Amino acid sequence: MSPSLTILISGATGLIGKPLCAALQARGHQIRTLSRSKHGDVQWDVDAGRLDAAALNGVDAVIHLAGESVVQRWTAAAKERILQSRVQSTRLLVDAILQQAPGPAFISASGISYYGTDLEAWADESSPMGDGFLAEVTQQWEAAARPLSEAGIRTAFMRTGIVLSGQGGALAKMLTPFRLGVGGRIGNGQQQMSWISLPDLVQAYIFAVENESVCGAINAVAPLPVSNAEFTATLGTILGRPTVFPVPAAIVKMIFGEMGEETVLSNLAVRPQRLTELGFEWQHPELESALLAAIH
């Protein structure tokens, strides 16, 4: 068990933040929540650039999860909100951390979309940046924290794949049509999906906070990506429902536009090389057990 740490968390009420706070507290850590509302322990206003640096006094680590949802129609204004919510909030935290001596570790959410939208081969943390709007977002998001690593402060970016949870995210949206028997593969179904169960993602964040050897880019995914067709068949088997209603790629593009192309149609086979090397152990390394845990 790690010594008790004081951890400041943004996005603490979200899909990842809520169970992460509970799990950290169960391990004896002290949690401070950072929020735009008065419900948080500490308030900030990202748009106005306001965060009292004293909020970080005595803090051992900062976990940054906050950011505008990418699941929306990508108008020019929406794209700017998605980007700036991540970059500006990171800069605000970085400035406050740099005023601390010693500065607390910084563990930030990020995305495997850094590697692009259509990979011809596996990607690991050493792979180059790919193409697309989300790749640019993740690059700028991570770059905003560069002053921390340059100052010798431990910094890690949790490049996360599809998070499997029945409470929210992509899987929760799939469950209703699949339970009604109208689920099916998307496009040709051959696109690779790199995923992680919510419990494993929570444990990956705890692992990153408690282990000083965790730094830089960390692919927060399960060891085995699957094709969309395999994902569809496995989910249908678990629910006991047919999966014979494919959604053509053209329909996805028509309804969701660029967002659909870079999310549900993306083809990303990503290896969690660093977590494997560091000895992280997955509770749900295989898709079937992850889906069972998420749904039941």
Query: From the CB of residue 254, how many other CB atoms can be counted at a distance below 10 Å?
Result: 10
Q: The CATH number of the domain where 153 resides is what? A: 3.40.50.720
Q: Tell me: the pLDDT tens digits for 77-131?
A: 999 999 999 999 999 999 999 999 899 999 999 999 999 999 999 999 999 999 9
Does a structural domain hold residue 244? no
Task: Please state the pTM of the whole predicted model.
Answer: 0.96
Does a structural domain hold residue 65? yes
Beta strands in 246-290 (DSSP E): none
The Cα 60–Cα 77 span in angstroms is: 36
Does a structural domain hold residue 129? yes
Does a structural domain hold residue 242? no
Does a structural domain hold residue 122? yes
Q: What is the mean pLDDT of residues 234-248?
A: 95
SS3 content of the chain, % helix, strand, coil (to 5): 40, 20, 40
The Cα 89–Cα 9 span in angstroms is: 12
Does a structural domain hold residue 248? no
- What pLDDT is stored for residue 256 in this prediction? 87
Number of domains in the chain: 1
Q: 3-state class of 191 per DSSP?
A: coil
Does a structural domain hold residue 209? yes
The Cα 217–Cα 157 span in angstroms is: 5
User: 58 is in which domain, residue-wise?
Assistant: 6-229+253-295
DSSP output for 88-108: HHHHHHHHHHHTSSSPPEEEE
Does a structural domain hold residue 90? yes
- What pLDDT is stored for residue 150 in this prediction? 97
Q: What is the mean pLDDT of residues 252-262?
A: 91
Q: Tell me: the pLDDT tens digits for 207-238?
A: 999 999 999 999 999 999 999 999 999 999 99
Tell me, rounded to whole angstroms, the distance of Cα 89 from its chain centroid.
16
Looking only at the bridges linking them, the beta strands covering 30-35 and 42-45 are parallel
The b-or-e profile of 213-225 (16+ CB within 10 A means b, else e) is: ebbebbbbbbeeb
